[in-house]
Structure 1
Amino acid sequence: MKLSFSLVKQLAVPVVAAALIACQPASKATLADGQETEFNTAYLEQMGFVVESYQAAPMGGLIEVITNQGLVYTNADGSQLISGRIYDITAAEPVNLSDLSLNAMRQRDVAAWADSTIEYAAPDVKHVVYVFTDPSCGYCRQLHERLEDYLALGISVRYLAWPRTGLTGSAAKLLEQAWCADDQRQALTAIKQDQALPAANCEAPIADHYALGHKFGVRGTPAFVLPSGQLVPGLLPPQQLLAELER
């Protein structure tokens, strides 16, 4: 995960603010070697992170923290931040241990938001994938045009909203209209074909999906979340997606 420019600017924490943070109560965290440490989430919170969970990192002396902006690592007391990946290099091929944690997080989160997706269910379901979509995205339209091919292979598609131009752009408004429609599947197809829909009149989960995508590391659409939790950016044709799912 790369830190945004606005986040990097906040690294220059004033001395007074740092002193106040240090005085706040800390929670106990257990490191990989079994030792307990005083872990203070306030440093991360000052930088704009929302801390969701933390545990010992695979690398000694570090804490692995799941936040609203994804995965980061800190030192034992939470006062220093590392943005990067940890690899196990003991085997013939390196294993990305950070990705394993991220995949588990994505699995939990998409399951929590499953009821808010627009689902196109395969007649004979073998796999379920989540896809972040934007109606103005050409590759998203191509995927949707071939939707029956995915369904025929036993791949159900659950769409999540991810307007590439942000929550104030036209794509966000179109997605809101689709999610507020009585027939969401028909409405989503319609907006991807430039057909007009009635104005939205509901509390659509567009902002929640958009935040979820940022947390997952989505940078464009379409973006697939596989049952393993793996994030795959870009358009995967039906047979290529099936091969990926059956690896």
Structure 2
Amino acid sequence: MKTLTKLNLVALACAAALGAQASTTELKLLATLKQAYPGTAFDTVTATPIPHVFEVWMGDNVGFVADTRPDYMIFGRLVDLRAMRDLTAPKLQKRAGAASPSAQTAAPIDVLQLPLADAITSTQGKGERVIYLFTDPHCLYCRQLEPELAKILNLRIYNFMVPFQDQALPLRIWCATDRLAAWRSAVSGTLDGQGAPAQCAHPLDRNLALASKLGVQGTPTLFFADGARETGFISASEIEAHLAQAASSHHASKNPKE
């Protein structure tokens, strides 16, 4: 029994030492980032399941940095492919709820108040059905959503770009002669934000403010004609169901029961 107790104590001591070491590494990396990039508000640094890769929070945005090369950052989400589980999504949702409790209720918005001139518009068929989409060209899930949207007939899409990660690529898209073609090139990977900075009047700052006002904390976020929202990647069939519900709600409002 005494031997077992000693082993337990040794194990606890080792665990405490490893925890302290991890904590020290996180604190050192946080200090390094703050010193190197004083213009960015870094909040927390925590270890991930990947050795030497750390999760870095900057307000509502998250990136991933290797402690061996803190001059590079990967934006997006960390996904456990074996379990097919998004490890970042619950943290995004938790932060969204803490920052804006009203966002958790996902109350419908008044889509008639949206500034459509600040969006890139595309039309499929007659465009009688409408989606208001908040996206980021860097966002993996936004890119995956594009083929699903292409399957839907009779649809108009208002795409509000929100530069959650950086403005270079969104600016290149907005300042292009053909914005829709530039957007499609960006999400297909043939257009990036490299080269001379694009210069033109743009709505990106307004779109960020609008996203904050509406409680949009991640991309893609879709709003439908009835003001209902859906956050994250969804399939074409799910979008069709939302469009049908929005049409039903609109019809009910036009023809209220006596």
Does structure 1 residue 175 correspond to structure 2 residue 170?
yes
Q: Secondary structure at the match of 1:219?
A: coil
Q: Secondary structure at the match of 1:130?
A: strand
1:129–1:155 Cα contact (<8 Å) kept:
yes
TM superposition shift of 1:177: 1.0
Alignment of 1:80-119 (within 5 A): 102-104=107-109, 106-110=110-114, 113-119=115-121
Aligned mates of 1:126, 1:239 — CA distance in 2: 18
State percent identity of aligned pairs: 27
Aligned mates of 1:155, 1:183 — CA distance in 2: 20
> Which residue is 1:186 aligned to?
181
2:182–2:191 Cα contact (<8 Å) kept:
no
Aligned mates of 1:155, 1:144 — CA distance in 2: 13
> Which residue is 2:234 aligned to?
236
> Which residue is 1:22 aligned to?
none
Q: Larger radius of gyration, structure 1 or 2?
A: 2
| TM-score, length of structure 2 as denominator length | 0.50
Aligned mates of 1:239, 1:156 — CA distance in 2: 17
> Which residue is 1:154 aligned to?
154
> Which residue is 1:219 aligned to?
217
1:140 to 139, 142, 146: 142
Q: Secondary structure at the match of 1:139?
A: helix
2:131–2:155 Cα contact (<8 Å) kept:
yes
Cα distance per residue 1:197-236 (max 9 Å; x no partner): 6642211101111111111111111000111112211122
Higher fraction of helix: 2
After TM superposition, what 4+ stretches of structure 1 lie above 6 angstroms from structure 2? none
Q: Which amino acid aligns with 2:205?
A: A
Say if 1:241 and 1:146 are closer, same or farther in 2 by CA, change over 3 A: closer
TM superposition shift of 1:84: 5.4
Q: Secondary structure at the match of 1:120?
A: strand
Say if 1:144 and 1:84 are closer, same or farther in 2 by CA, change over 3 A: closer
The RMSD of aligned alpha carbons is 2.5
Aligned mates of 2:209, 2:146 — CA distance in 1: 23
Aligned mates of 2:179, 2:197 — CA distance in 1: 14
Gaps of 5+ in 1: 1-5, 7-82, 86-95
TM superposition shift of 1:189: 1.0
Aligned residues: 143
Q: Which amino acid aligns with 2:108?
A: N
TM superposition shift of 1:176: 1.1
